[in-house]
Amino acid sequence: MLDFVQQLVSGIALGCVYGLIALGFVLVYKATEVVNFAQGDLMMLGGFFAFTFIGMLGLNYWLGFAGAVICMALFGMLAERVVVRPILGYPQFSIIMATIGLGYFLRSIAGMIWGTDDLKIDTPFSQGVLRIGSLVLAYDKLSVIAATVILCGLLYLFFNRTTLGTAMRASSENMLAAYYMGIPVKRVVSIVWAISAAVATAAGVLLAPITFIHSNVGLVLGLKAFPAAVLGGFGSIPGAVVGGILIGVIESMAGFYLPQGWKDVAPYLVLLVVLLLKPEGLFGVHTRKKV
């Protein structure tokens, strides 16, 4: 029984990691209907920025964290301006390809600048564990869970309660109509990319003690976070986190109870089954096409 609880808790911690990255996917999709395949790579880049500030320049952890988030928010805006804006309004497939290309590019460039070794950041959460009874939970994982909950809550409120959030939802529904209503669509899209890059950076920095930072971390984790976003129903913020936690728990359970090899496949099998039964994901909204 204890094993089960321990697996469950570590699965949830792992799932929050996926959820945190999936949040970035969902943000961009929710506001612009663009699937950003470079999301994981933005996270990787954020981690490298934080490493530069904290590990190389010797800044305070929180200062470095903030610096990386700001830099990456600007970088997100730049990426949006250069890669996404010219093809906004074209078929989704083009944009997916463009972001895949962007991901390739960022991975190689990061590998060339920061090398191919695993890098590490010293964080206040690096050491120490929390013990509840005989349950053991490391602080670094707890920090990820806390950050996921906080960010998810903030973003949910942002999208549903603020004017800017409403403007974002409007422009995703129908850019032209939103523009006629006086919403500065281009600026809205820009801001969304900045926010999503900032969230990705937060994920990258918090993950640094767990997964380390290397140029492929974005690809590996991005490919896990992507099913999480789909499982929750692309476009739903709580869905992304629930999807992430589900994937994390399934993975950790499969790794513990099933023979070797199931761990990597189980999340995808579950995803396929869910998509078969509910093609729009767990929290997706089912809509009919108007002809």
Q: Which is nearer to other proteins, 107 or 141 (CB)?
A: 107
- The binding site for other proteins (CB under 8 A) comprises 29, 33, 35, 83, 86-90, 92-98, 100-109, 111-112, 116, 172-177, 179, 215, 223, 226-227, 230, 234-235, 261, 264-265, 268-269, 271-272, 275-276, 279-281, 285, 287-291
Q: Which is nearer to other proteins, 94 or 127 (CB)?
A: 94
Residue 34 Cβ, how far from other proteins at the closest point, in Å?
10
Q: Give the DSSP per-residue string, 34-87.
A: ---TTHHHHHHHHHHHHHIIIIIS---HHHHHHHHHHHHHHHHHHHIIIIIGGG
Distance, in Å, from the CA atom of 289 to the CA atom of 196, rounded to the nearest integer, reads 29
Residue 180 Cβ, how far from other proteins at the closest point, in Å?
10
Residue 141 Cβ, how far from other proteins at the closest point, in Å?
25
Q: Which is nearer to other proteins, 144 or 246 (CB)?
A: 246
Q: Which is nearer to other proteins, 79 or 205 (CB)?
A: 79
Residue 50 Cβ, how far from other proteins at the closest point, in Å?
21
Distance, in Å, from the CA atom of 48 to the CA atom of 51, rounded to the nearest integer, reads 5
Residue 46 phi, psi (nearest 5): -60, -45
Residue 277 Cβ, how far from other proteins at the closest point, in Å?
9
Q: Which is nearer to other proteins, 69 or 189 (CB)?
A: 189
Helices and strands (H and E) in the chain: how many: 11, 2
Contacts 24+ apart (CB under 8 A), 3-7: 3/256, 5/135, 6/135, 6/136, 7/252, 7/253, 7/256
